[in-house]
Amino acid sequence: MAKTAVQEFTKGLWAEIPPFRLVLGLCPVLAVTKTVENGIGMGVATTFVLICSNILISLLRNVIPKKVRIACFIVVIATFVTVVELVMQAFAYPLFLKLGIFIPLIVVNCIVLGRAEAFAAKNGVVASFADGLGMGVGFTLSLTALAIVREVLGNGTFYDIPVFGPSFEPFSFMVQAPGAFVCLGLMLCIMNMLGKK
């Protein structure tokens, strides 16, 4: 374990930023990035689950029998997701209504299970926490970036505040499903171009 906790954190921000470099967890990336508010909400919820599940799985990595580890991971993750769902209902109900089905679906987000299996099950608590935080922040940033492009172009607003004058004709293709794919593809392309240098 040559890497420090800081390195584990920063790799999630660029070198292994989840949706763009690992191309994982695309379902919520495409579905909830219609508005910046939804994107950030989803990102924060996923980050919370990632950090908690990474810490707990790292702590329990010697207790969990190898053969049933996936089942145990899923139980841990599902527990935290349900916690998020309940807390969000209690304190941010309008956001919960908008995100709807995508909150419970964090359970099957590849990033969360992927980090549990690939990282937390093999590393210490501090490193796992840093990994979860980095991945979560990276995921949130990606969702926000995508949501900004889509909301500004597709709806003419940023965080529900109009950015263009009333004469702006929204490019509504961007807030529909195909727009999400095109936008994600272009972003991947830019990331790869920058990464080559």
Partner 1 sequence: MREMLKLFIAVVVFSCLSGGVLAAIQNATKERIEYQQLKFVKGPTIKDIMEGCSNDPLIDRLRIVDEAKEMHLFVGEFEGKRNTVAFETFGKGYGGVMGVIVGVNLDNDEIIGVGVTTHSETPGVGSKAKTDPDFTAQFKGLSLFDPFKVKADGGQIDALSGATISSRGVCGAVVEAGEIYKRLKPTIIEKMKEKQG
Give the binding site for partner 1 (CB under 8 A).
63-65, 67-68, 71-72, 75-76, 78-79, 82-83, 86-87, 89-91, 93-94, 97
Smallest separation (angstroms) from partner 1 to the CB of 42 = 19
Q: Extract the tokens encoding 171.
A: 């490019």
The CA distance from 134 to 119, in Å, is 12
**Closer of 89 and 192 to partner 1 (Cβ):** 89
The CA distance from 48 to 63, in Å, is 23
The CA distance from 187 to 145, in Å, is 9
Smallest separation (angstroms) from partner 1 to the CB of 94 = 6
Smallest separation (angstroms) from partner 1 to the CB of 107 = 12
**Closer of 65 and 178 to partner 1 (Cβ):** 65
Place of tokens 């810490």: 55
Exposure b/e, 69-80, CB count within 10 A at least 16 = b: beebbbebbbeb
**Closer of 15 and 83 to partner 1 (Cβ):** 83
Smallest separation (angstroms) from partner 1 to the CB of 165 = 28
